[in-house]
Structure 1
Amino acid sequence: MEKEVQIKHIRDYVFTLFQADESGHDYFHMERVARISRKIAEVEQANVFLCEAAAWLHDVGDKKLFHNPNEAIEEMNTFLCDISLNKIQINEINHIISGISFSKGIAVPDTLEGRIVQDADRLDAIGAIGIARTFAFGGANQQLMYHPNSKSTSIQHFYDKLLTLKDLMHTESAREMAKERHQYMESFLKQFFQEW
């Protein structure tokens, strides 16, 4: 099976899993991460297919999104086998997606492809889209937008995570893209607190 056909099957599979997500981890998040991963992979001369495939699948098995993460991973691996990916490719995809989560505290994935997908995922967490996703996630999880005496708010998430991401990018391509997005978040927060 041609790689483009396999990517189409992966895209369709991801649509069935994430089409109804309301937390900011929807199909369109996966699409953006896949697009950014492909772009960076081409510049960085990485394995474009692996980056794009792993980017589409990077949230499969995330404990925030799945009641049974291990079962979700097993089903994904069966699906990848069914569309003729070999065991090496499946293992590499699993390795990439297991090492990109911010919450797991894995600072630097050990492959270029892993670093690229992590960069792409982090890029989608910042800037205008990142702001929108932060409040979508907060709303879906009954989190306050902001409260001066609470550390468990959507605004606090900017300080706990989002404003740190610019300096955690691994590739030069991602570092360049992150600058403008980071500045946009800083401007947003300044305006937010002026209005508050």
Structure 2
Amino acid sequence: MLTKHQQQIIANTYEYAKQKLSHDYSGHDIAHITRVVKLAQHIQKTEPESNLFIVTIAAYLHDVIDDKVIENVEKGRQELIEFMLQQQVESSAQQAILDIIDNMSFRKNLSTKQPLSKEGEIVQDADRLDAIGAIGIGRTFYYGANKKNVMYDPAIAPRVNMSLEDYKTPTTVINHFYEKLLLLKDQMNTAEGKKLALQRHQFLLNFLQQFEDEWNGSLA
């Protein structure tokens, strides 16, 4: 059960995230954040030993200092810390939230799975769920266009066992499905996350088959 003070912090954190991401056109806007929060809160209900407040705040803030969406990460990090101090978030909760934000991303886990708290596992699952399924497809093309990536080139094979430098190197939009999105189902942490990922994963497979058929000129 959240206290009134915690509820107010959550409301203020929503406004903070909304303001920080107001100029995002890469699929990491406040609509994405709101979906991740809802998914995280849903999963949290199935993990009763987890802390709802930390899950919710971390879900709201998980993209506000990501270098995909801001240029000066260090400045953004300091502003985030100052915001949490202003909201009187306890120091232990601040550290728990920062640990989640710092370690949950796909690229941070390319070579070695980073340790996460139960709250971190929940937020990571929620974020990854929003990367697959119908919304995930839309966000992938939206992000690819934002970065001026080629939609598809059959001559460019998807990469496997990518390094961080590989991941930062532009690829085609369709290759991103094979290099990341199709891998997420088997990287879910929670039982509920795994369950929710199944249908969304199958939606990706169906889409890719349809895309390939149409690309090759199938009239069926």
Q: Would the aligned equivalents of 2:43 and 2:122 in 1 still touch at CA under 8 Å?
A: yes
Matched residues in 2 for 1:73 and 1:29: separation? 20
Contact 1:108 1:115 in 2 (8 A): no
Q: 2:191: which partner in 1? A: 172
Percent sequence identity over aligned pairs: 41
- Matched residue type, 1:183: Q
Q: Which TM-score applies when normalising by structure 2?
A: 0.86
Q: What is the aligned counterpart of 2:120 among 114, 121, 124?
A: 114
1:101-129 CA deviation, whole Å, 9 max, x = no partner? 10112525331011111111100100000
Whether 2:38 is the aligned partner of 1:69: answer no
Secondary structure of the equivalent of 1:55?
Answer: helix
Q: Kindly name which structure, 1 or 2, has the bigger radius of gyration based on alpha carbons.
A: 2
Pairing 1:1-196 to 2, within 5 Å after superposition:
2-45=5-48, 46-105=50-109, 107-151=113-157, 152-196=171-215
1:24-67 deviation digits (Å, cap 9, x = unpaired): 11111111111111111121111011001001000121122111
Q: Structure 2: state its 5+ residue gaps.
A: 158-170, 216-220
Q: Secondary structure at the match of 1:44?
A: coil
Q: Provide the secondary structure at the position in 1 that maps to 2:107.
A: coil
Counterpart-to-counterpart distance in 2, 1:52 and 1:108: 20
How far the C-alpha of 1:20 sits from its partner, in A, is 2.3
Q: Which amino acid aligns with 1:68?
A: N
- 1-structure distance, mates of 2:206, 2:152: 17
List, as ranges, runs of 4+ consecutive aligned residues in structure 1 with deviation greater than 3 Å.
none
Classify the secondary structure of the residue corresponding to 1:89: helix
**Post-superposition offset of 1:150:** 2.7
Please report how far the alpha carbon of residue 140 of structure 1 lies from its aligned counterpart in structure 2 after TM superposition.
Answer: 0.3
SS at match of 1:65: coil
Q: Distance in 1 between matches of 2:189 and 2:91?
A: 27
Whole-Å separation in 1 of the counterparts to 2:115 and 2:136: 22
Unmatched runs of 5 consecutive residues or more in structure 1 = none
SS at match of 1:104: helix
Aligned length: 196
Matching residue's letter, 2:43: I
Shift of 1:177: 0.3
Distance in 2, Cα, partners of 1:190 & 1:101: 28
